[in-house]
Amino acid sequence: MKFLQFILYFCFINVLTAQNKPNILLIVADDLGWGDVGYNGQTKIKTPVIDALAKQGMVFKSFYAGSTVCTPSRVSLMTGKHTGHTRVRGNVNWNETGKPIDIIAKDITVAEKLKEAGYRTGVIGKWGLAENLDEGKPNKQGFDEFYGFNTHIGAHHYYPDSIWINDVKTRIEGNNFKLKEKHYIQDNFTDQAKSFITSTKEQPFFLYLAYTTPHFEITVPEDSKEPYKNLGWPIRNIKHHRYLHDTNTHVSYAGMVSRLDTQIGELLDLLKNMGIEENTLVIFTSDNGHMYDDLNDEFFNSNGPFKGKKRDLYEGGLRVPFVARWTGVIPQNTTTSHRAAFWDLLPTFCDLAGVSSTKDTDGISLKPTLLGKHHQKKHDYFYWEFNEIKGPVQALIMGEYKIVKKYQSPTELYHLKTDVSEQNNLAIKHPNMVKKMEKKLKKVRYNDPNYPLEKLNQTYD
């Protein structure tokens, strides 16, 4: 009798645990700056849905992307490692070989871990980690469903003539990327996300929704431009051999961000109407700092108080907006100064799903912070490296100090608590701190012949 009671109790606990596993909706914008959203001080671009999401959940004031460009940042997100340990540390051909490097079968992704916990997994939008269309493809990396772009460059047109549906490249009827005709791909992403959510039954889901907004090219349908026309904004036109930008890109950029905001609202409404809002963790963030705003003549102030933007390892290139909402679980209208990064999300999701994390993650679960607890473990350091055009750059944060080490240049030292804009280089005043942190730099990365800390010869096409 006691044995039977034990079995029934064990089954009850397992059912209860399965019911408590949250759905996870991870929304990642592309090249959206920290200052491009209203809750971070944006005044020109309207983002009412994202701002409301911030009030409904928790805002991380010091959250960092995995890298300062798309591909390595997304690898960090998927594998829970910083760029001193990831297989991919740069975009497309920026490595010693000059050929694309992808993640491979033995790289364990967050999707593979969540499948162990019984999740249905999907990725919609920009994957960008399968340039060779081989082991890096989403369906080989733990995702049940895929609708989007396997490759990096392919994701940068908003009216593409084809898209990947799982393992099949499929034509989008009527689309012409040169004429910007018919289906704006971000709308397709939203529709596919709705379909994935509504078709998931009797198991929790993990949906990685990787919008390409507002990455170049700067273009958006006319209805999203209307609120920003006739405001007297200065005209900015950008010419580029690869991207087919709209004319008057200030208006289009604002329209892109606001359209993204509206689309997120549609998804949040769906969760509410389906009655699963209270069992869904929604996270909104960006893959790196902004690209659009001209730092010499800022219009949107896309980087807020921070120095730099995309392709910089200053705060403007790395610090990104981050909001987490789990209705009834995460305290509403709260902020945290806990410093965290992309590589923390894999162990966090594993912790919430009740499955062990990967052994070699650089991340730390954010579950205590999200639940409003006070026993959150902190990182000893944060590390990034990046190598394009001007040669390798490394950055390291320890406590409130940050160093930026550029190729063949003196190391820069900043105290982030008192100088978040990184204006006051303290390297000369604190040589011992510089020495200590430079010593740490040598220990926190694996030497990879594909990513030497020397200048590469690759160029942009």
CATH code at 357? 3.40.720.10
Quote the pLDDT of residue 239: 85
Biggest CA pair distance of the chain: 80
**Are residues 407 and 313 both part of a single domain?**
no
How many domains does the chain divide into?
2
Between CA 152 and CA 154 the distance in angstroms is: 6
Alpha-helical regions (H) of 150-200: 185-198
Handedness of CA 174, 180, 185, 190 (dihedral sign): negative
**Are residues 354 and 424 both part of a single domain?**
no
Residue type present at position 132 = N
Q: Is residue 4 part of a domain?
A: no
Quote the pLDDT of residue 425: 98
- Closest C-alpha to 345, from 57, 42, 9, 82: 82
> Which of 363, 379, 395 is the endpoint of a domain?
379
Tell me how crowded residue 381 is: count the other CB atoms within 10 A of its CB: 15
Between CA 223 and CA 340 the distance in angstroms is: 37
Query: Is the pLDDT score of 15 beyond 90?
Result: no
Between CA 458 and CA 365 the distance in angstroms is: 37
- Mean pLDDT for the chain overall: 94
**Are residues 158 and 298 both part of a single domain?**
yes
Between CA 435 and CA 451 the distance in angstroms is: 24
Condensed to tens digits (0 to 9), the pLDDT of residues 85-143 reads 999 999 999 999 999 999 999 999 999 999 999 999 999 999 999 999 999 999 999 99
pLDDT band at residue 10 using 50, 70 and 90 as cut-offs:
very low
Q: Is residue 43 part of a domain?
A: yes
In the chain, DSSP finds a helix count (H) and a strand count (E) of 11, 16
**Are residues 343 and 435 both part of a single domain?**
no
Condensed to tens digits (0 to 9), the pLDDT of residues 229-256 reads 999 999 999 988 789 999 999 999 999 9
Q: Is residue 453 part of a domain?
A: no
DSSP-derived secondary structure letter, 319: B
**Are residues 362 and 388 both part of a single domain?**
no
Read off the pTM. Answer: 0.95
**Are residues 132 and 74 both part of a single domain?**
yes
**Are residues 44 and 156 both part of a single domain?**
yes
Q: Is residue 455 part of a domain?
A: no
Instruction: Give residues with Cβ within 8 angstroms of 58, minimum separation 6.
Output: 323, 324, 325, 330, 331, 334, 335, 336, 369, 370
Quote the pLDDT of residue 154: 86
**Are residues 346 and 426 both part of a single domain?**
no
Q: Is residue 1 part of a domain?
A: no
**Domain CATH number, residue 399:** 3.30.1120.10
Between CA 66 and CA 400 the distance in angstroms is: 19
Q: Cβ(17)–Cβ(354) under 8 Å?
A: yes
Quote the pLDDT of residue 460: 57
Q: Is residue 235 part of a domain?
A: yes
Query: Is the pLDDT score of 4 beyond 80?
Result: no
Query: Is the pLDDT score of 365 beyond 90?
Result: yes
**Are residues 290 and 232 both part of a single domain?**
yes
Run of H or E including 258 = helix 249-273
- The parent domain of residue 122 ranges over 21-379
DSSP-derived secondary structure letter, 131: T
Q: Is residue 5 part of a domain?
A: no
Query: Is the pLDDT score of 33 beyond 50?
Result: yes
**Are residues 295 and 420 both part of a single domain?**
no
**Are residues 248 and 355 both part of a single domain?**
yes
Query: Is the pLDDT score of 189 beyond 70?
Result: yes
